[in-house]
Chains A and B, each alone.
Chain A
Amino acid sequence: DVKVTQSSRYLVKRTGEKVFLECVQDMDHENMFWYRQDPGLGLRLIYFSYDVKMKEKGDIPEGYSVSREKKERFSLILESASTNQTSMYLCASSVSGRSGDTQYFGPGTRLTVL
């Protein structure tokens, strides 16, 4: 079974703090994704990576950066957390770059920024 793990299930941070969210997948997948999920808005893509050290902006990259130094690990960074970044953050991975490949999700990190 594919396993995608995220470093924390719940996280509380203060405005202005730097926040790191870590995601690890164990199936040698090429693609990794970071989404945020908010009520009524569904999942929105923040960033994705199709190879080590490669990244592309998704639909809402502002206020976020990412790092992929190893194939299995994809980190999301909030340089200076703000209250509007309070959300559920979901990491996902997929096998390759084929159109519509199944994405496997981690359990999510619920981030609260006070």
Chain B
Amino acid sequence: KAGVTQTPRYLIKTRGQQVTLSCSPISGHRSVSWYQQTPGQGLQFLFEYFSETQRNKGNFPGRFSGRQFSNSRSEMNVSTLELGDSALYLCASSLAEREGQITGELFFGEGSRLTVL
């Protein structure tokens, strides 16, 4: 069974640009969540999606957005990049079989490492 796949693995952008990161969850997993990891702040929750609906959102500015497609794949977008957006962005999927189910174990992808110059 393939794991969570994130693309691209590494990317370099400059301030003011925008970036789109992609995440393919484990087959059958309908919940996808995104996290930002930096040395100073640790793992910070960005948002969580189930069946194309955002169920919760972290405390990040509106420049950070995401969406989930009908096949459960997800993308997140960061617009007007700032130096402080340099981080490892992790996607995780979990097996939430029905609406309202509290998800259990998360399976993380290897992450997309973004460097903003």
Physical interaction between A and B? no
List residues of chain A with CB under 8 Å of any chain B CB.
none
